[in-house]
Amino acid sequence: MSHTPFIPLVEELAEGIHCIETGLYRHGLAACYLVREGDRLAFVDTGTAHSVPALLAVIAKLGLTPEHVDYVIPTHVHLDHAGGAGGLIAACPKAHLIIHPNGAPHLIDPGKLIAGATAVYGEAAFVRDFGAPTPVPAERIILAEDGQTFDLNGRTLTFLDTPGHANHHGCLFDGRTQGFFTGDTFGIAYREFKTAQGPWLYAPTTPVAFDPDQWLASLDKLMAFAPQVMYLTHYGRVDHPETLVDDLRQSIRDMASLALAEQGRADGERQARLKAAIAEHLIASARAHDVDIPDARINELLAVDTELNAQGLHVWLQRREQRAAA
């Protein structure tokens, strides 16, 4: 199935850090990042398999070539973050892929990723929106250890193991700007919801490995670096993270509470009830942040996340109930 290419929006958010629109669903939903130090490049997150031609076009626009890419670094293997990883590795002959050890098998053999995404989204939507990821040769992969540093032409990038949203999630600290590429660990902050109070953050509880306790610990781990800025996949740069992190912690707790209210009610309607409760909660949270957008538009902007959060909380409850019954 052909996929219409688009010309990506590119913003330089800080010294050598380019935020690239990946075009998933709508503009402003999912980004990836290109880090440039001199003539050496690193991608952090990649968008979907459909994103690859646009990312290569950005390299050309900078006057460089795929041979200048040293690293491709997905924060985790969800397809909006890593779907294009194999395609980029195939196109960039000198690049190595850096990934959490738990994520590597899914990029070497993406069969389970494809099956899981097809189950979540349906086959037609999966093909249309994500495309099939290209396998990454094992010899091109570096398994990142917690605290491991990587040199990009003198610029230090530090990998941190940050479970909670996913058990294969890592964040990357850029020493040059004192900022983290956070994937989903520092939540979602769509630009449409920014007000005089600043960005509005909430936690994405996407299937299948939501763990609120681990997530809260991961946030403590990030904040111990006293970061000045966070670069979010969803979406863009947020400053003064120390003023935002408590709101995100509360969102994680709130999502867990919404799920626990359904504990023991394992009927066929539970996921639908969770979805309705999440939608109501997010609208109330946005209103408390002085977001002045009609309810229908809020629901439209958050439709994908509301559905995925409900699925993720449903899976989390099932795991808890299975453990309790064991």
Q: For the residues of 260-277, what is the DSSP string, one character each?
A: HTTTT--STTHHHHHHHH
What pLDDT band is residue 57 in, cutting at 50, 70 and 90? very high
What pLDDT band is residue 271 in, cutting at 50, 70 and 90? very high
- Convert the pLDDT of each residue in 293-318 to its tens digit: 999 999 999 999 999 999 999 999 99
Helix (H, G, I), strand (E, B) or coil at 185: coil
Strands 149-152 and 31-37: unpaired
What pLDDT band is residue 1 in, cutting at 50, 70 and 90? very low
pLDDT of residue 7: 60
Q: Give the whole-angstrom CA distance, residue 178 versus residue 246.
A: 20
Bridge partners of residue 157, in order along the sequence: 150, 174
Element containing residue 107 per DSSP (H, E): helix 104-108
Average pLDDT over residues 1-23: 80
What pLDDT band is residue 4 in, cutting at 50, 70 and 90? very low
Q: Which amino acid, 129?
A: D
Q: What percent of the chain has pLDDT over 70?
A: 98
Relative orientation angle of helices 245-260 and 303-325, to the nearest 10 degrees: 60
pLDDT of residue 221: 98
Give the residue carrying structure tokens 């997150």: 45
Q: What percent of the chain has pLDDT over 90?
A: 88
- Convert the pLDDT of each residue in 148-199 to its tens digit: 999 999 999 999 999 999 999 999 999 999 999 999 999 999 999 999 999 9
pLDDT of residue 44: 98
What is the overall mean pLDDT for the chain?
94
Does 42 score more than 80 pLDDT? Answer: yes
Q: Give the whole-angstrom CA distance, residue 66 versus residue 23.
A: 21
Q: Give the whole-angstrom CA distance, residue 255 versus residue 31.
A: 24
> pTM, whole model, 2 decimals?
0.95
Does 113 score more than 90 pLDDT? Answer: no
Is 324 or 252 the better-scoring residue by pLDDT? 252
Residue 228 CB neighbour total at 10 angstroms: 14
What tokens were used for 225?
């670096």
pLDDT of residue 6: 55
Check whether the bond before 208 is cis (ω within 30° of 0): yes
